[in-house]
Structures are given as C-alpha cells and as structure tokens.
Amino acid sequence: MARVAVLHNTLDFRGGADAVCAHVCEALQRDHAVTLFTISATELATLDEMFGTATDVTVRRPPLGRRLARLLSRADDRFGPQLALRSALLTRWFRRHAAAFDVAVSTANEFALPLPSVQYVHFPQFNTDVPGPDGVHGDGGPNRLWTRIAGLADRRLPQDATLIANSGYTASHVAARYGREPAVVHPPVDPIPGAPWPDREPGIVTVGRIAPDNRALDAVRIVDGVRDRGVELHLHLVGSTADAYRSYRRRVAAAAASREYVTLHTDASRARLEALLGNHRYGLNTKHGEHFGMALAEYAAAGMVAFAHDSGGAPEVVDGADDRLFDSVPAAVDRIVDAVESGARPRLSPDRFGVDRFHGEVRALVAAGLE
C-alpha cells in the first residue's frame, strides 16, 4: 500500500474535472492510502452524490482553506474563475507535505512537483501566453505571475511526471506549451439506463454548470428557434450552481421562467439526472472549445442523439459526425430540426467511456509511477 496524494485545486465548480477527481480517489482507495489536497468549501461527499462515486479518503485543506475558497468564489463572479491562482497556491502549500507521500496524482492539470506524479490535464492552466497548435496566443496577464509561483515559468514539467489528457485536442495544447504530448485517457462515463426510443419524450436535455462558458442561454435560443420552425421540443437545463456564477444564474432562471417549455434544474440528484437523460431523445452541448465534454459523453451513454458545438474536443466524442455538430445558434437549429424530421436515431455506443476502463487505467498508471 502506497501513500498517494491527490491534488485538485477546488471542488467548488462541481464540473467534469471534479468528477474525474472523485473517480480517481475512488479508483485508488482500494489499494492505497489516499489523501486529497484541495482549496474548497465543497465537501467530497457532495461530489459523491452528484457523480455516483463512493469515496473514503482523507481530505486536507490549508489553514483557513474554506474561508479562502469562499473569498475566491466571491471574486470569481466579477473576475472569472481563477483556477491557475488556486493551483499555484495549492502547489506551494503541498510542497511542504510532499515528503510524506510516495506519488502524487494531479486531477487539475499540470504541476511542478518534487516527487513522481501522474498528471491528468483537462486543459493546461499555466503559460497561457504561449500560442496553441492553431497559432493563437492566449492571454498572459496575471497568469504569468501564477505560472512563476507554480514553478513552471521555464515551461519544463518534471521528467518523472506521467502526463495524460482528456482528449486529443487537449493533448495537442499540452505539447504546444511544454513539448511533451500526453497519452489520452477519456474521462469515466458509464452507460445510463434508458427507455426504448419510441417511449422517450421528444425533448432536449442540456447538462452542465449554470455558467457563462457553458452557454445555457444559447440552449434556450436554440430551442426557441426549433419551435419557431414548427418542431415543438421542450428543454431541460440541468446543472449545478456556484457563487462564482450567481449573476449568470439569475439571467438563466429568468429566461426559463418566461417560457413554459424550459425547465431549470439546479439541485437535481444523480437519480433525477439519469431519469431525464434516459427518458429524452436529444442531448445538446452548447459550450465552445469544450476540452472533452462529460455531459456530451453522458448523452451518448444514455442512448440519446447528441449535438455539440464544432470546436475543442467535442467532435471526438461524436466521432466527427457533421450532422451532429454546429458552429452557431442557427446551425444548431438546422441540425436538430433535420434530426427530428428525418427520425434520426443514436449511433454512438453507450459503453464507450466506461468507468471500469478509467479506474483500471488510473491504477495502472499509478502503479507504474511507483516502480
């Protein structure tokens, strides 16, 4: 049994990265003594309820960690999520405790760590002013400072770090910044039981944090457009909320309240979410530049016809199918109307991203890091 430290900057956004963190803890606790280091107000048990995991690990926060997390969340509503800042602070704090562990696992992107590590990159968080594989420069700004604090200003990741990424799209961005291309390990999504196709409701489900980057209001506009074309679909918006996005949440709630065909679920249990997915025909992902798309993968896992913005890693999830991808709200309306009128059925395998596969790969990577 090894001593394993899992590093995750914050659990407070309750998104796909946090699901990966919960699953990594669950996968490793079987064989190792696991300690999660995080700066969060949210409890790990909350993620268990959301993502269907069953974790039993030690959780450590820095002194006044919950108060710091709440302070950062309040600032996020004005300045946006400062994930790199959180990770830089977490790095500096964890280094004081690293000697007590045999291996570290980051589930929140790249870190400069003083011990062997496995690093799961959802999207690189430091050196954002380095151009990506498409030649586009990011925004440096405060990130240059966070990058120096995190010890990565030289753009060199530790040689004893095993790098993995959630998609080929993300892997290419890691290679552009650090000269090393990670292997791809898709996040865990098990098949979701569903009703037979004829018994499903002719409606759309959109899952994801109620946050500006997930573009919940675009989903509302798309359904408005579909209905204007004479196709009377309804929409369920399902997502967690965080203090960081309270202003946007109010706008989404107002849009839903003004339409009888839009329902907003901000506190849905895992059972309720799976019931919605398993009893509706269509899933819609409106986020631009999605690094992978956990919700999109869940649509496939539930046997839905899945639509996504044609950017980031989302095309990988839907096998690049042109009739499932869109680049604007009007194009999304066209894709959905065409699918409904043609009687389109799901084409993706529900077990493509299974949890057992993910747990097995994580255990194997950590075992290799301990050799």
Candidates 95, 117, 161; CA nearest to 4 is 117
Question: Tell me, what DSSP letter sits at residue 318?
Answer: T
CA dist., res. 264 & res. 64, Å (int): 34
Q: 97-142 pLDDT, tens per residue?
A: 999 999 999 999 999 999 999 999 999 999 998 887 866 656 667 8
Q: Which CATH class is domain 197-342?
A: alpha beta
Q: Residue 136: what pLDDT?
A: 61
Average pLDDT, the chain: 92
CA dist., res. 116 & res. 130, Å (int): 26
Question: Which two three-digit tokens encode residue 104?
Answer: 């570290």
CA dist., res. 331 & res. 35, Å (int): 46
- Please state the φ and ψ torsions of residue 176, each to the nearest 5 degrees: -65, -35
pTM: 0.86
User: Furthest-apart CA pair in the chain: how many Å?
Assistant: 64
Choose between 132 and 300: higher pLDDT.
Answer: 300
Q: Residue 75: what pLDDT?
A: 52
Q: Is beta strand 161-165 parallel, antiparallel or unpaired with respect to 183-184?
A: parallel
Question: Which two three-digit tokens encode residue 45?
Answer: 């048990």
Question: Which two three-digit tokens encode residue 35?
Answer: 């300690």
Q: Which neighbouring-strand residues pair with 7?
A: 37, 106
Question: Which two three-digit tokens encode residue 330?
Answer: 């009007």
- Domain limits, the chain: 3-188+354-370, 197-342
Residue that the structure tokens 């562990």 belong to:
101
Q: Is the pLDDT of residue 79 over 50?
A: no
- Please state the φ and ψ torsions of residue 118, each to the nearest 5 degrees: -115, 125
Burial of 357 (0-12, 13-18, 19+ CB in 10 A): middle
- Please state the φ and ψ torsions of residue 134, each to the nearest 5 degrees: -90, 5
Candidates 147, 141, 144, 150; CA nearest to 112 is 150
CA dist., res. 309 & res. 314, Å (int): 7
Q: Residue 365: what pLDDT?
A: 97
Q: Is the pLDDT of residue 361 over 50?
A: yes
Q: Which DSSP string do the residues of 209-243 spell out, in sequence order? A: -SSGGGTHHHHHHHHHHHHHTT---EEEEE----G
Q: Residue 14: what pLDDT?
A: 80
Q: Which CATH class is domain 3-188+354-370?
A: alpha beta
Q: 16-75 pLDDT, tens per residue?
A: 899 999 999 999 999 999 999 999 989 999 999 988 899 999 999 988 667 766 766 665
Q: Is the pLDDT of residue 240 over 90?
A: no
Q: Residue 15: what pLDDT?
A: 82
Q: Is beta strand 33-38 parallel, antiparallel or unpaired with respect to 3-8?
A: parallel
H or E segment and range at residue 184: strand 183-184
Contact between 324 and 215 under an 8 Å Cβ cutoff? The reply is: no
Q: Is the pLDDT of residue 283 over 60?
A: yes
* Alpha helical stretches, state H, 4-158: 16-29, 44-51, 65-79, 83-94, 143-150
CA dist., res. 240 & res. 50, Å (int): 9
Q: 162-186 pLDDT, tens per residue?
A: 999 999 999 999 999 999 999 999 9
- Same CATH topology for 3-188+354-370 and 197-342: the answer is yes
Q: Would residue 211 be called left, alpha or beta, if left means φ above 0 and alpha means ψ between -120 and 50 degrees?
A: beta
Candidates 325, 327, 347; CA nearest to 336 is 325
Q: Is the pLDDT of residue 304 over 60?
A: yes
